[in-house]
Structure formats: structure tokens, C-alpha cells
Amino acid sequence: MTAPTSPAYKRILLKLSGEALMGDDAYGINRGTIMRMADEILDVVRLEVELAIVIGGGNIFRGIAPGAQGMDRATADYMGMMATIMNALALQDALKHRGLDARVQSALNIEQVVEPYIRPKALRYLEEGKVVIFAAGTGNPFFTTDTAAALRGAEVGAELVLKATRVDGVYSADPNKDPNATRYSRISFDEAINRRLEIMDATAFALCRDQKLPIKVFSINKPGALARVIMGADEGTLVHV
């Protein structure tokens, strides 16, 4: 089969977990890991793909989690949102070192540090070829950054939500526990629900399904996987209507 020569998608929403930035560290940001991700993103932008990113904060919050035990849930969630802003700034800096122009927009209003989320500005940045990094989730407690990815993806008209994980797709069972587990190349939203596959949190999954916004689950740890997904290669698992 001849390899595709042009991207299969024009506008993408990439969901990065905070844990993806840790590398082999227990928590925090591993500089080598984040610079490698910046290189992967650079390869995609060179394909003239418009790229928006929603980033989690679990890597930073993990370091303070013991002190947060017993804390009010809403307070803990706001702390997690602040962690996503720290990650967004770190990723913006890494992209800057690779010559990429990136903008951070936050659902929380901290104008001295990052600009607020304004949809028309985000759309204009994407059209100008800038990478847009959405931080602070939805700005509301009790909602995950998965939900923020589904929401922002729908708002900016993304053709695909990419969920970058440490596993190279969706499996019939936990591949770490079951050696016979098989990876799905494609699966429908309804099939995933019937088989009780945990792909995203229920709110995010339902939003993508309702908006007919496909999800691609892939491993961010595989070199070149991000570009291969965008070129339409058989990488990871596509969840579709």
C-alpha cells in the first residue's frame, strides 16, 4: 500500500495527559520528554495541520496530592486547573525553543500570566498557523480535562480528538494483565459503550458521540506516532459514530 502523501485531517484537538510529560520521573515535568513532544508537534505543524492542545495536570498535582488528602473536591479541582496552566506554559516554552508560535488560553482568568479563553481568538490563531494550548480545563470543578478536550474540540471545529496515552490504542482487555488482549483498529461509540471500554470519562465520551466527533487513542511514547495518526495510518484505535 502506498503511504499517504497529505494529512488526512486539517484541524486536530490533541489531548495530552499531564502524566505524559513526566517521562520516567515520579512527578513533575521531564525536560527531555517535553522537548521530544515539541519535536513531534513540530513535525505535524509542518504538514500545515491546525493544532489545538488540551493538557492535563496530574503530573504536577501528584507531587502535592498527599497534602491534599481530605480536601474539599472543588478546591482540589481548582488546584488541578492551576497545574494544567503550569504544564501549558512549559509546553509553550518548549515549542518556542523549536521555533513554533504557540498561544495559551486559560478557562480561568489569570491575565498577568495567560490570556483568557476567547473562541474567536482561538480560531484566528489556528487559521494563522499558531498552536493553541487550552489550559484550566473547562474552568469548572467536577469536570475532567477529557471533557475540556471534547468541548474545545467541538467549539473550534476539530475533525478529530486525539487522546494521547501510554497505551497504543483500545484493547479488548487490559494488555498488561491479559496477553491475549487484542487492539481494536476501529470501534464505534455504541460498541465501546456496550463492551464497557473506558476510553474517556462518560461526559466527554457522550459529548463527542453527540457531536459526531471521532476520537483516536494512540501512544504518545511511540516516536512518530502523532504524525502517522494525522496522515491516516493504522495507528492506535479510531472511535467513530
State the binding site: 15-18, 57-58, 62, 77, 138-145, 165, 171, 174
Distance (Å, whole) CA 226 – CA 237: 13
Which residues carry a binding-site annotation for UMP?
Answer: 57, 77, 138-145
Q: Which residues are annotated as a binding site for ATP?
A: 15-18, 58, 62, 165, 171, 174
- Give the C-alpha distances (Å, rounded to integers) separating 86 from 3, 62, 80, 205: 38, 13, 10, 26
Name every residue whose Cβ is closer than 8 Å to that of residue 120 and which is 6 or more positions away in sequence: none
